[in-house]
Structure 1
Amino acid sequence: MFWIICAATTIVVGLAIIAPLLRGGRMAAEPTAAFDLRVYRDQLKEVERDLDRGVIAPEEAARLRTEIGRKVLDADRRLSQAGTGGAGGRGLLALSLLALLFAGAAALYWREGQPGRDDLPIARRIAEARQVYDNRPSQAEAEARAPAPVVPEVPEDFAALIGQLREAVAKNPDDPQGLALLATNEIRLGNLAAARDAQARLVALRGDDASAGDLVRLSALMIEAAGGLITPEAEAVLVRALTKDPAHPQARYLLGMLQLQNDRPDRAFPIWRSLLEEGPEDAPWIAPIRTAIADLAWLAGQPDYVPPAPLPGPDANAMAAAEDMSPEERQQMIAGMVSQLEARLARQGGTAEEWARLISSLVVIGNTDHARDIWTEAQTRFASQPEALDTVRQAAVQAGLVP
C-alpha cells in the first residue's frame, strides 16, 4: 500500500508539472505574439486614417509605418518560433529530470529507509516497548558499560579536604551529615559511584525516615553512574520517593525520562507537560523539558500542543513544599540539584543559560569560590560565542564575581 500511494502521488505531481510543458511553447507564446500582431495592424490602419484626415503629415506617417512594421516583423518571428520551437524538447527534459529525481529518492530510501519493514500497529509498539522495559540491564551491568565520567581538575588543598572527609566518614559511618557532605563532594570530583555509595548508605541509615528528596537524590546518582540509564534498581528507589511524595517534581521528571527511555512518549508527555506548566522556570528540569516538549507532544499524538510561556518564578506549591522542609533539608535539596546540574554540564555540556544558572546557584548556596572556577571555565568554553559568553558574564556580574 505504501508503494502504491507513493507511485500514485509521484505520477499525479509529475503530470501536473509536465502537462503545461507538453502543451507548452505554442500555448504559452502564441497568444501574446498573435495579440501583438493584431495591435500593430490596428495601429497601421489608424495611421492611414489619420493621414487621410490630415491629422499627421506624410513624413510622420512614413516614420510610423516603418516603426510599426519592425514590430510586426518581430511579433511574426516570435509567432513562427512558437509554432515550431522546442515544446517537445522542454517536455522531454522535464520528464528526464523528474525520472532522475524519482530514481534518486528511491535510491536514498532504499539506503536509509527500511523498505522491507512491516507496518507497526500500536499494539505491537507497546509490546516491543514492554520488552525493552523488561530487558533493561541491572545497575551493575549498566555501570560497567557506562563511559568513564569526566574528572575535573581539583586543587590540591580541596583534594586534601576531601581525603580528610573520607577518613572522617570511615571512622564515623553513622553520621548522616558527613555522608550527605561526602556524596555532594564526590559528585564534584566526578566519582559518581562513590557518591552513589555514600548516598545509599545515608538512605539506609535513615531507613523509613529517609525523605523523598534523599531517595530522589540516590536514584539520580544511580542514573548518573549508569550513564543516564534508569535501571530497575534506580526505578525502585524512584518509586519509593514517589510513594512518599507523589508531587515531587524531580522524581516526576525522572519518571517521564523512564517512559521516554522505554519508547512510551504517550506516558512521558503528560508528566512533563504538568511539570512545565507548574514551573518554576528556573528549576533544573524545565530547560530540557522545554527543548523536547514539542517533539514529545508530536510523538504522543498531540501535535497542536503549545507550551506555556516561561513563568516568572516559583509557584505556590513549590514554595509551600520548601517551607515544610527543615533548613538542612532545603540546603541538601538545593545542593543536590546544583551538583546534578554541574555533573551533567561537565559530562555533556550545555547552553549558556544553564552555565549561568549554575554560577548563580553556586553563589546562592555559599560556594562562591567554586562559582568563580565555573566562571573561568565558561570563559574558555564560550570564547568563540560572544553572545553566549555575554549571557554567562551577566550571571557572573549579578553574582558579584565580576566587578
Structure 2
Amino acid sequence: MVFWIVTGALALIVSGIIGLTLVRGRVGDKPPAAYDLQVYRDQLKEVDRDLARGVIGAEDAERIRAEVSRRVLAADAQLKRGGDSGGQPRRGGLILTLMLGALMMGGSLMLYAQLGAPGLGDLPLKTRMAASDMARTNRLTQADAEARMPATDIAPEASEEFLTLMERLRQTVQERDGDLRGLTLLARNEAALGNYVAAYDAQQKIIDAKGDEASAGDYAYLAELKISAAGGYVSQEAEQALRDALERNPEIPPARYYMGLYLMQVDRPDAAFRTWDRLLRESNPNAPWVPAIRTNIEELAWRAGVTDYQLPDAPAATPPLAGPSAADIEAAGDMSDEDRQQMIEGMVQGLSQRLANEGGTPAEWAQLIRVLGVQGKTEQAGEIWAEAQGVFAEMPEALDQVRAAAQAAGVAE
C-alpha cells in the first residue's frame, strides 16, 4: 500500500508542476512576450554596433531596424493584452492540466500493474542470497515431499500379463538379495509403471550392493527417480544424490539438468542459467532434457539478469530409427511370449551385428546400449559402450550422445 501511495504522490506532483506552467502560460517570472521584447531590443543595439564596425551598410541597417521595430511593437501589444498570463486562457490550461494529471497517474499505475510486481519488496543481493540459503536449509525431506503428492494409480494401462510378470520379478529379487541384474530390471520396470518409490528403493539397493563401485550414472538415476516421485521437487535426499553423481563425474548430463532445476527452486536463477545454458550447447538435440531447457531458459535468463540472451538455433535432430514393419507387428500379435521374446532378441542381435560389421549412427549405438540396459544385460552393454568409445573417439558430439545412453544403462561414468 505504501508503494502505491508514494507512486501516486509522485505522479500528482509531476502533473502539478506541468499543469502550473500551462495555467500560468509562462516559465519563470515574466510572460513569454516580455522575453521576446527584451530579445528584440538587444537586436536593435546589435544593429547599431554592426553599423559602427562596418559589418553592414546603412541601407541594410535601416531595413533591419524597421523589421525589428515592427516585432517590438507586436510583442509590446501582446504583453499588454495578455498581462501576467501571457494571453494563455486559464480555463483551457486548467482542463488540460486535469486531463494530463489523470493520464499520468492512471496510465503509470496501470502500466506498472501490468509489467511490475506491486507486492514484491526490495530484493538487494544480500537479501536474495540469504533467502536462497534459507531455501537450501529448509528443503523438504523425500518423505515430506511425497506426502504432498496426490494419490495416483500405478500404470492403469498396463496389461494383466505384464503386472503378473512384475510380481514374479519382485518376488525373485526379494529372494535373491544383492542380485544386480534383477534389481536393475526391477528399478527400470517399476519406473515404467510410474511406481517411483519402489523404483528408487531398488536403485538404492543397487548402489548399496556396488558400494564404492557405484557410478555417477547410478546416483544420477537415483536422483531422477526421487525427483519424479516428488512431482519434480528436489528433496534433501535427491540433492545429495545429485551431488554424489557430480562428484564422481561433473560432466554427467542428467545430473547437470536436475541440478539446474534444484538451483531454480532455491532461487538461484544465475547459477541455474549458467548450468542449463552450457548443458544445452553441449547436448545432442535428441537428449531428453533439451526440450525442457529450451522451453524455460529464456525466462530463466531474464531472471538471471541476462537481457541480451539469444536462444541457440535448434540443430536438426537425428531421425528416429525405423521400428518393425506393420507385418512384423501383426505377426507378433499371434506369437507366444517365448516367440515374441525371441523376435525381440533377434532384432537386438541383428542391430548389434550390423553395427559391428557395417557401423551406424550414434543414435543406433545409443539405442542398442539403452535396450541392453533395460534388458539387464549390463555386461554386454558395457562391451558395446567400450567399442563405441573407439568408434567415436574423434567425434565428441556423437560420443556424448552414446555416453548419455551408457550412463542411463549404468555402464558409464
**TM-score over 0.5 (shorter chain):** yes
Contact 1:281 1:310 in 2 (8 A): yes
Deviation per CA, 1:47-86, whole angstroms, max 9, x where unpaired?
Answer: xxxxxxxxxxxxxxxxxxxxxxxxxxxxxxxxxxxxx9x9
Residue of structure 2 in register with 1:293 after alignment:
297
Match of 2:259 among 255, 262, 267: 255
Q: Which amino acid in 1 is paired with 2:244?
A: R
Listed one character per residue, the Cα deviations across residues 156-208 of structure 1 (whole Å, up to 9, x for unaligned) are 11111111111121122322121111111112222111111111111111222
* Structure 2 equivalent of residue 280 of structure 1: 284
The RMSD of aligned alpha carbons is 4.2
Say whether residues 1:217 and 2:258 are aligned partners.
no
Q: Which residue of 1 aligns with 2:146?
A: 143
Report the alpha carbon displacement of residue 240 of structure 1 after superposing the two structures with TM: 1.4
Distance 1:120-1:92 versus aligned 2 partners, 3 A rule = closer
Task: Could you tell me which runs of 5 or more consecutive residues in structure 1 were left unpaired when the two chains were aligned.
Answer: 24-83, 336-363, 365-403
Q: How does 1:316-327 map to 2 (within 5 A)?
A: none
Deviation, structure 1 residue 7 = 4.8
Give 3-state SS (helix, strand or coil) of 1:280's partner. Answer: coil
The count of corresponding residues between Structure 1 and Structure 2 is 267
Q: CA 1:232–1:11 in structure 2 vs 1: closer, same or farther (change >3 Å)?
A: same
Q: CA deviation at 1:332?
A: 3.2
Matched with 1:123 is 126
Please give the residue correspondences for 1:312-351 in structure 2 after superposition, counting only pairs within 5 Å.
312-313=316-317, 331-332=372-373
- 1:180 maps to 2:184: yes
Residues 331/275 of structure 1: CA separation in 2 closer, same or farther (3 Å cut): farther
Structure 1 residues 17 and 282, CA gap change in structure 2 (3 angstroms): farther
Q: 1:198 aligns with which of 197, 202, 225?
A: 202
Identical pairs, percent:
37
Q: Which has the higher contact order (CA 8 A, sep 6+)?
A: 2
Give the aligned partner of residue 160 of structure 1: 164
Q: TM-score, normalised by structure 2?
A: 0.54
- Call closer, same or farther: CA 1:308–1:192 in 2, change over 3 Å: same
The structural deviation recorded for 1:304 is 0.3
Q: Distance in 2 between matches of 1:267 and 1:252?
A: 11
The one-letter amino acid of 2:130's match is A
Q: Secondary structure at the match of 1:246?
A: coil
- Correspondence list, 1:228-239, <5 A: 228-239=232-243
2:155 counterpart of 1:114: no
Change (3 A) 1:14 1:196: farther
Deviation at 1:152, TM superposition (A): 2.9
Find the counterpart in structure 1 of residue 343 from structure 2: none
Report the residue type matching 1:264 in the other structure.
Answer: R
Alpha-carbon separation, structure 2, partners of 1:107 and 1:167: 62
SS, match of residue 302 in structure 1: coil
Radius of gyration: which is bigger?
Answer: 2
Whether the 8 Å contact between 2:11 and 2:101 is mirrored in structure 1 is no
Distance (whole Å) between structure 2 residues aligned to residue 291 and residue 334 of structure 1 = 33
Q: Measured at CA, do residues 149 and 212 of structure 1 come closer, stay the same or move farther in structure 2, by a change above 3 Å?
A: farther
Q: Tell me which amino acid in the other structure corresponds to 1:332.
A: G
Q: How many Å separate the matches in 2 of 1:99 and 1:123? A: 34
Q: CA deviation at 1:92?
A: 8.0
> In the TM superposition, what are the counterparts of 1:42-121 in structure 2 within 5 Å?
91=96, 94=99, 98=103, 101=106, 105=110, 113-114=118-119, 117=121, 119-121=122-124
Q: Indicate the residue corresponding to 1:48 in structure 2.
A: none
Contact 1:18 1:91 in 2 (8 A): no
How much does 1:298 deviate?
Answer: 1.1
- Output the CA distance in 1 between the equivalents of 2:279 and 2:230: 25
CA contact (8 A) 1:252 1:271 kept: yes
> Structure 1's 250 and 201: CA in aligned 2 closer, same or farther, altered over 3 A?
same
Offset at 1:122? Answer: 0.6
Cα offset for 1:289? Answer: 0.7
2:136 maps to which residue? 133
| CA distance in structure 2 between the partners assigned to 1:180 and 1:121 by the alignment | 48
Q: Could you tell me the TM-score, scaled by structure 1's length?
A: 0.56
Per-residue displacement from partner, 1:305-337 (whole Å, max 9, x unpaired)? 1121112358xxxx99x98x99657743899xx
Which residue pairs with 1:53 in the alignment? none
> Shift in Å at residue 262 of structure 1?
0.2
Distance (whole Å) between structure 1 residues aligned to residue 94 and residue 211 of structure 2 = 85
**Letter of the structure 1 residue corresponding to residue 373 of structure 2:** Q
Residues in 1 aligned to 2:223 and 2:16: alpha-carbon distance in whole angstroms:
57
User: Counterpart of 2:314?
Assistant: 310
